[in-house]
Amino acid sequence: MSSLDPRLITILVLTGVLLVVLVIVLPLVGRLSLIVEAITLLSEPLGDILGNQRIVLLGCIVLGLTIAGCCIIAFVVVGSLLTCGTAAPSGLCRLIGR
């Protein structure tokens, strides 16, 4: 049985990391910058109308984090409910089944 060259394994791993960065990380950074720009464009006129741009920016951030938190909670609940039909159901399924 032949063993693989460690240099080949290193090149394959680095190529995989590069592909992940190019395919997943860079588009996420681009979308994040667009979201930040949209929040800034929204907070400037509202800040002028309400008198304090920092409070409006803080409100936008709080609203965004609240939406993100609700999405995370929804994913966790749906993920735990998907285990209801398995041999080892989650605690949420047992709680609902009572």
Is 69 contained in some domain? yes
Q: Is residue 43 part of a domain?
A: yes
- Give the type of residue at 81: L
Separation between Cα atoms, residue 85 and residue 98, nearest integer Å:
15
pLDDT at 30 over 90: no
Residue 41 lies in a domain: yes
The whole-number pLDDT of residue 50 equals 84
Average pLDDT over the chain reads: 84
Q: Which domain holds residue 82?
A: 21-97
Q: State the pLDDT at residue 2.
A: 60
Closest alpha carbon to 85 in 95, 77, 93, 76: 93
Give domain status of residue 3, yes or no: no
What average pLDDT score do residues 70-76 get?
91
Q: What is the pLDDT of residue 69?
A: 93
Task: Please give the tally of structural domains in the chain.
Answer: 1
Question: Looking at residue 98, what is its pLDDT?
Answer: 58
Q: The pTM is what?
A: 0.55
**Is residue 5 one of the residues assigned to a domain?**
no
* Residue 60 in domain: yes
Does residue 12 belong to any structural domain of this protein? Answer: no
Provide φ and ψ at 36, rounded to 5°.
Answer: -65, -40
* Domain-located, residue 72: yes
